[in-house]
């Protein structure tokens, strides 16, 4: 069940989307990603969701958790939403394969702490 507080709801959205990205790319290589438009679209959309939710997390919460790279996450969302013709697939693959697992590790304790 989704948490009640606004920040917790946004964190839950971020975690859910990050886990989805992780599942989409599981067992895939960059060449698979490059050649599969549906996979690219799914990853792009969920990274966009992560950035949108991150932008809605309160400033107070973000300041209390500086280990999460809030600004780059939100900036990535802006690129995907507004500069979609400029997407560098190699960079987005790096986000999906390196940054998403790190983000999941940061978010899981925050979401589960508040849910319990």
Whether residue 77 lies in the annotated active site = yes
Catalytic residue among 40, 46, 77, 99: 77
Q: Which long-range contacts (CB under 8 A, 24 or more apart) does 85-94 make?
A: 87/44, 89/33, 89/34, 89/40, 90/30, 92/40, 92/43, 92/44, 92/47, 93/30, 93/33
Cα–Cα distances (Å) from 112 to 11, 74, 97, 104, 116, in that order, read 10, 23, 23, 12, 6
Catalytic residue among 22, 65, 71, 82: 82
Q: Return the active site residues.
A: 77, 82
């Amino acid at each position: 069940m989704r948490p009640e507080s606004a920040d917790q709801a946004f964190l839950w959205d971020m975690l859910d989307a990050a886990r989805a990205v992780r599942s989409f790319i599981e067992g895939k290589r960059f060449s698979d990603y490059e050649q599969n438009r549906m996979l690219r679209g799914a990853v792009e959309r969920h990274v966009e969701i992560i950035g949108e939710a991150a932008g809605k997390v309160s400033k107070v919460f973000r300041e209390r958790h500086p280990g999460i790279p809030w600004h780059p996450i939100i900036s990535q969302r802006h690129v995907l939403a507004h500069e979609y013709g400029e997407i560098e697939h190699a960079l987005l693959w790096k986000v999906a394969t390196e940054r998403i697992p790190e983000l999941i590790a940061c978010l899981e304790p925050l979401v589960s702490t508040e849910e319990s």
